[in-house]
Amino acid sequence: MDLSIKEVRTRKTKYFDGAIQALAEAFETDADFVTGGNPSLFKEVITAYLGMGISEGHVDVAVINHEVVGVICWLEPGKEIKPMKDPGYAAFWEKLCPQTKKWYMEDAGPNMQTLRNEGFKLPAGCLDRYAIEILGVKPKNRGKGIGGMLIRQCIDAAKREIRPEAAMACVISTDIAMSAYRAQGMELRATKHIPRSPWSTEGYDRHAMVYSKFNVDMLHI
């Protein structure tokens, strides 16, 4: 397998377009609830998040024979993604129906924030951490260690961190990605059930996972 990891630093590259397609395939089953039953908007929101990832952090892609098969977006300490300040995401948001906006603001958003608080144990507003925002591997390429190679881009940066308060990597994981994160030394810290959206038959679980170079938890108690 001729696999390489490349960083995407601009939207004007074939790897950026490949990353959009890879994430669209990786999360195809999530398109309805993310877009409020309008999957035609799915690539639009993916494009916005990847653009924010390039601006604020790192977007790395796994490439096999010139095809992007996996993507990770991760941030260094002090950085964060603010979707509503991004023109691309703001345009996507305005196209959502009122029911979807209500679900995000009253159900998904607050529950995800509670999960971050319980799992990461960071003081309000603290950005002393490495954070994985997006990880996706095309279904046909799973089970080959590609997710682990992408995760290590962030974990290795956390390992090089010399400040104890920032030497940690955090992620909110789906069920399917948990084993890949565990294989890279991340531990499960909290789980929360997110109520179903109007466009799904059931809710879903999300998991707060953390890699700690030092005993970071004790520093934030």
pLDDT tens across 39-80, in order?
Answer: 999 999 999 999 999 999 999 999 999 999 999 999 999 999
CB 209 within 8 A of CB 179: no
- Please tell me what DSSP assigns to residue 165: G
Q: Is the pLDDT of residue 2 over 50?
A: yes
Distance separating alpha carbons of residues 14 and 209, to the nearest angstrom: 32
CB 100 within 8 A of CB 197: yes
CB 193 within 8 A of CB 203: yes
pLDDT at position 33 is 82
CB 59 within 8 A of CB 7: yes
Bridge partner list, 131: 75, 170
Query: Which among 35, 18, 52, 34 is positioned nearest to 137, based on CA atoms?
Result: 18
Among residues of the chain, what percentage have pLDDT more than 70? 96
Q: Is the pLDDT of residue 218 over 80?
A: no
pLDDT tens per residue, range 131-150: 999 999 999 999 999 999 99
pLDDT at position 215 is 62
Half-sphere exposure of 62 (CA within 13 A, CB side): 25
* Greatest Cα pair distance in the chain: 47
pLDDT band at residue 195 under the 50/70/90 scheme: confident
Mean pLDDT score of the chain, rounded to an integer? Answer: 93
Q: Is the pLDDT of residue 164 over 60?
A: yes
- Please tell me what DSSP assigns to residue 106: I
Mean pLDDT, to the nearest integer, of 25-38?
91
Distance separating alpha carbons of residues 127 and 116, to the nearest angstrom: 12
Tokens 């877009």, residue located: 35
pLDDT at position 118 is 96
Among residues of the chain, what percentage have pLDDT more than 90? 86
Query: Which among 78, 23, 76 is positioned nearest to 45, based on CA atoms?
Result: 23
Mean pLDDT, to the nearest integer, of 186-204?
89
Which CATH superfamily is 3-219 part of?
Gcn5-related N-acetyltransferase (GNAT) (3.40.630.30)
The 3-state DSSP class for residue 211 equals strand
